[in-house]
Every structure is written in C-alpha cells, then in structure tokens.
Amino acid sequence: MRYFIDTNIFLLLFNSRDKLDPDISFLLGDFYNEIIISSESVRELLMLIKKKKIDSKDMRSFNDVMKVLNENNIKIHYIDEKHLKKLSELQPAPDHYDPGDLIIISQAIVENIQLITTDIQFKFYKKQKLQPILNKS
C-alpha cells in the first residue's frame, strides 16, 4: 500500500514516536508499504528548521532532512499542474485556509493515496475524496 504522511506525522515519527497510534506506527514501519511525503511538507520542515522550531540534532539542514528521508525510504512527491488544479477546485473546511495543508490534501486526492495526519480538520475533506487516516494518540 501507499500512504501519504502529513508534516506533523513525519515529525512524530522521528521526534515523538510514542505519540503515534500503534496501528499507524505499524503501517509506517511495514517494509511493504510505500511512504510518501509532499514536497510541500519538505518545504515546511526546512522553514521550521530555519526558524529553530525543530529541536533535533538529526535535522538541522536540507542535507539532514534528505538523509532522514532517504534512510527511511520516504519518497518525495512533487507538486505539479494536476495538484494545483485540484487546489483551485478544493472547498476548504470552515476556518481552514492553511495553504500547506490544502496542497497536501490536493495531492493526496489526485494521487488517490490515503493521507495520515493528526489534523482533525482533514476529515472534512472526505466528501471531496480525501482518504484521511487520523492519528488518535
């Protein structure tokens, strides 16, 4: 199976794994599953590092982030025209206008891949064909 992970899941995976639901932890650790992250999440991570909001000796630079992704076989999916078109059509949840979230949601819908997240607002997008898996821990 293929799974998209939201930025917050990536951070939990490498900084607070104990805060992941056991079923999600199993999915992410299963060698047979393909774990995918959006290039938007990578951008968000780099901005968090720049603002010193990530306190991790393993992730202090672009090269560190790429190393963690590669070592854990997490593939980056880049934003393309299909994703931007879906973004333009997406109906945001009330009071949910985070552009990073919306492009990640658009990518997951277009690629028809389940999206693992901690953000409860993502459930709103089920009617628009998002397949969210909510981390409940």
Q: Give the pLDDT of residue 55.
A: 73
pLDDT in tens, 90-131: 999 998 989 999 999 999 999 999 999 999 999 999 999 999
* Cβ neighbour number for residue 89 with a 10 Å cutoff: 9
Strands (E), 42-95: 74-77
Look at the chain and report how many structural domains it folds into. Answer: 1
Are the C-beta atoms of 116 and 24 separated by less than 8 Å?
yes
pLDDT in tens, 28-83: 989 999 999 999 999 999 999 999 888 777 788 899 999 989 988 999 999 999 99
Q: Give the pLDDT of residue 58.
A: 77
With 70 as the cut, is the pLDDT of residue 137 above it? Answer: no
Token match 């076989």: residue? 73
Q: Give the pLDDT of residue 16.
A: 80
Are the C-beta atoms of 37 and 74 separated by less than 8 Å?
yes
The one-character DSSP state at 72 is T
Q: How far apart are the first and last CA of the chain?
A: 22
Range of the domain at 73: 2-134
Whole-structure pTM value: 0.92
Residue 24 is part of a domain; what is its CATH number?
Answer: 3.40.50.1010
Which residues on adjacent β-strands are paired with residue 132? 115
